[in-house]
Amino acid sequence: MMIDRDGIARPGTPERRILDEIRPEGLPRHVAMIMDGNGRWAEARNLPRVQGHRAGAQAVRTTLETAARLGIEVITLYAFSTENWKRPKLEVRALWALLKEFIDSQLDTFKKNNLRFQTIGDLERLDPSVRKYLDRARHVTRDCTGTLVQIALNYSGRHELTRVIRAAVTDATQGLLEPEMIDEAWIAQHLDTAGRPDPDLLIRTSGEQRISNFLLWQIAYSEIYFTKVLWPDFGTTEFLEAIRVYQQRDRRFGGLTDTVPPGGNPVQT
């Protein structure tokens, strides 16, 4: 896969200098992002929090365009956690409205950039009107073969694992599953991320250094990159810098350096 360097940054610019240090053969296959700091971004400007989320949606657009041009296989974005329902009603409503608006305005761009839309999380609790938008986005982009964009909605890692365990017990009580059939591969195949490689790189913005219930199973060997930049300010330069730093890390997966294949995420099926 070739990186579209000129499409990402013009020669001579600071972001191009970072980009030129990035090796195409060592790119992360899967980048997961905890998009934090929208509220603080807005508060710093005396704007309502919702304006921060709006600016955050713009940062999502830029990030996806860069991911497509880099040739990243999978991007997973933490857009709404199972805990986010505790926020004020107005903010919750605004977030779902923003998602619909995002889908309306971005579907053509998804197609143009060959991005495939998917979700992870428990969609059952979502408003039927939201689910209709999600169905449409999935349907319209189903033949896109470029970057897979997984938006985490009503998602948390513990909730996902709880659903897997429930499914296992249901199968077991119907006589379809024996204890020895459950191994790591079985569990991985029953997660929302079944069939996708685990994240190689997890990025969290806004200076917080925690996982907040995101992809708990899948990040076992992910490299974690924290930046103080607030999500709405996370642009091409920050994304490229995270990848540059990632490429300098020494990934061992519990073994010794020499045993890891170059670029190395062992595929999990």
Binding marks (x or -) toward ligand FPP, 179..218, rule CB under 6 A? Answer: ---------------------------x------------
Region from 36-44, 122-130, 172-180, 234-242 binding ligand FPP, contact rule CB under 6 A? 36-44
Report which DSSP code applies to 260: S
**How far is residue 198's CA from residue 76's CA, in Å, rounded to a whole number?**
10
Angle 60-100-66 from CA coordinates, rounded to 5°: 20
What residue has token string 């790189």? 201
234 binding ligand FPP? (CB under 6 A): no
Interface residue with ligand FPP among 8, 31, 74, 99 (CB under 6 A) is 99
For ligand FPP, give the closer residue by CB, 36 or 198: 36
Angle 88-192-213 from CA coordinates, rounded to 5°: 45
Shortest distance in whole angstroms from residue 124 CB to ligand FPP: 19
The crossing angle, in degrees rounded to 10, of helices 89-112 and 49-70 is 20
Region from 30-38, 68-76, 220-228, 252-260 binding ligand FPP, contact rule CB under 6 A? 30-38
Interface residue with ligand FPP among 8, 28, 33, 37 (CB under 6 A) is 37
> Is 36 annotated in the active site?
yes
133 binding ligand FPP? (CB under 6 A): no
Radius of gyration of the chain (CA): 19
For ligand FPP, give the closer residue by CB, 36 or 238: 36
Binding marks (x or -) toward ligand FPP, 66..95, rule CB under 6 A? Answer: -----------x-x----x-----------
Q: Is beta strand 30-34 parallel, antiparallel or unpaired with respect to 201-204?
A: parallel
Helix (H) or strand (E) holding 26: none
229 binding ligand FPP? (CB under 6 A): no
For ligand FPP, give the closer residue by CB, 18 or 35: 35
- Contact by Cβ (8 Å): 33, 203: yes
Using CB atoms within 10 Å of the CB of residue 92, give its burial: 0 to 12 exposed, 13 to 18 middle, 19+ buried. middle
**How far is residue 130's CA from residue 53's CA, in Å, rounded to a whole number?**
17
Instruction: Return the closest-CA partner of residue 197 out of 70, 80, 54, 30.
Output: 30
For ligand FPP, give the closer residue by CB, 98 or 245: 98
- In 57-161, DSSP assigns E strands to 74-81, 116-120, 148-155
Q: How many residues bind ligand FPP (CB under 6 A)?
A: 19
Q: Which residue is nearest to ligand FPP (CB)?
A: 39
40 binding ligand FPP? (CB under 6 A): yes
> Is 84 annotated in the active site?
yes
Residues in touch with ligand FPP (CB under 6 A)? 35-40, 53, 56-57, 60, 77, 79, 84, 98-99, 102, 151, 206, 231
